[in-house]
Structure 1
């Protein structure tokens, strides 16, 4: 029996899907939950998140550099006899630069940490579901060869349920990460 390799964004989940191929086939014959489909709920690309965080961090450095140049220009303008109004406006803009740079740096750091946590979560889930599938292998083989005894059917069904529950538990842990992202949805700086 050959089946197409299921490809995920996360390589550990692709490997886990491959390990679950026989369990999936047995599940299909019995009409129980597809264990590979459950993995889709955890699919992620930590490398893409890391790349985005790196880009945001580079942007933070650019804003910090622009702030320094702006501040130097303001200092030159203020010492050249500029009015007090200009100084007040310049201080406001300077503060906005600093706020934007801090927000970008915070976002980049959070992105890097979230990528690491998602990576760890996917790897952990892959290991767990692979162990579940391995423990059910004798019953899976029996089902695939036509055995429909209550014992093997129950073992395959239980393994599929265990995979779905393991994935659901990992997905539930994502709510904490989502809560950390909430503050990033608000505008951090209102430019003058």
Structure 2
């Protein structure tokens, strides 16, 4: 049986170590511990790459803003400098706001990627320890032992894996709170 592949390498490794527990769970009708891991799958490296791209975009906007400001200063020395200056200040403020919003978004992306990575690694460590603690009972079930003690041990380990994953998922609410301010447009262009 091929071990499932996850986006996060720690979860792929954990799925491989949970394979015997998964097989035993299937024989006794317990929850699939590997399926539970799917709820935590993520790709922090992709999020980090996206955050870097947003940060690079912020730098470009900041550079464009500086070029724009230089052009405004040059143009304000001409005829209708007051009207042009007011308009230019508005646009310049929008450039600055867009650059700040992009930098903030990039910083949040980096934090989220790090937190998701830590979450996946810690969950993997915890569920592997749970599987290891039930290994004797798993081997017994796989050898067709259906005694109450071994079935209970395997079922308990599977339920503990599901609870561990659920607790990790619940901890993601802090990430949602960080993302909430980013759902509104950062700049309203005039």
Gaps of 5+ in 1: none
Deviates more, 1:149-158 or 1:81-90: 81-90
- 1:55-74 deviation line (CA, Å, top 9, x unaligned): 00000000000000000000
Q: Secondary structure at the match of 2:103?
A: helix
Aligned residues: 190
Question: Do the aligned residues in 1 keep the contact of 2:75 with 2:81 (CA within 8 Å)?
Answer: no
Runs of at least 4 residues off by over 4 Å: none
Structural mapping, 1:83-162, within 5 Å: 83-162=81-160
1:73 and 1:135 mapped to 2: Cα distance?
A: 69
How far apart, in 1, do the equivalents of 2:169 and 2:38 lie? 10
What is the CA–CA distance in structure 2 between the aligned matches of 1:119 and 1:54, rounded to whole Å? 16
Partner in structure 2 of residue 22 of structure 1: 20
State how far apart, in whole Å, the 2-side matches of 1:4 and 1:82 are: 73
CA RMSD, 1 decimal: 0.6
Instruction: From 3, 6, 28, give the equivalent of 1:5.
Output: 3
TM-score, structure 1 normalization = 0.98
The answer for the alignment partner of 2:40 in structure 1 is: 42
Q: CA deviation at 1:82?
A: 3.3
How far residue 175 of structure 1 moved from its aligned partner, in angstroms, is: 1.0
What is the TM-score when the length of structure 2 is the normalising length? 0.99
1:167 equivalent in structure 2: 165
How far is the alpha carbon of 1:81 from its aligned partner? 3.6
